[in-house]
Amino acid sequence: MTLGLSALLALATALPAAALDRRVEIINNTGFTIVEFYGSNTGSDSWEEDILGTDVLPSGSSVVIDFDDRSGYCKFDFRAVFEDGDVLEKGGVNICEIATFTYQ
């Protein structure tokens, strides 16, 4: 009986891959304001919606974004649009392995 309870407890406390933390702090150290930010899993055909919405991310600031889209993906593509019109894209970011992503 004790062995069965121990095994059940071990299963109950183990985190499945789908439950990995997908929160990432996006840090802007570019000298320019990010006016749009997109993060889509690598299996997606589009950038989806601007995560910042009506907000912006000034240089020297950061924001924590939860990328958990219930897809189970760990690899995401990032797209930042800056106030001067420049766009930076980074593909294949493993959000299950990083806690921060910095634009410099």
Instruction: Determine contact, residues 78/38, Cβ cutoff 8 Å.
Output: yes
Check: pTM over 0.75? Answer yes or no.
yes
Q: Is residue 40 part of a domain?
A: yes
C-alpha–C-alpha distance, residues 72 and 61, integer Å: 29
82 exposure class (CB count in 10 Å sphere: 0-12, 13-18, 19+): buried
pLDDT in tens, 40-71: 999 889 998 999 999 999 999 999 999 988 88
Q: Which domain holds residue 48?
A: 18-103
Count up the domains in the chain and report the number.
1
Look at residue 59 and tell me if it is in a domain: yes
CATH number of the domain that residue 44 is part of: 2.60.40.2890
50 occurs within a structural domain: yes
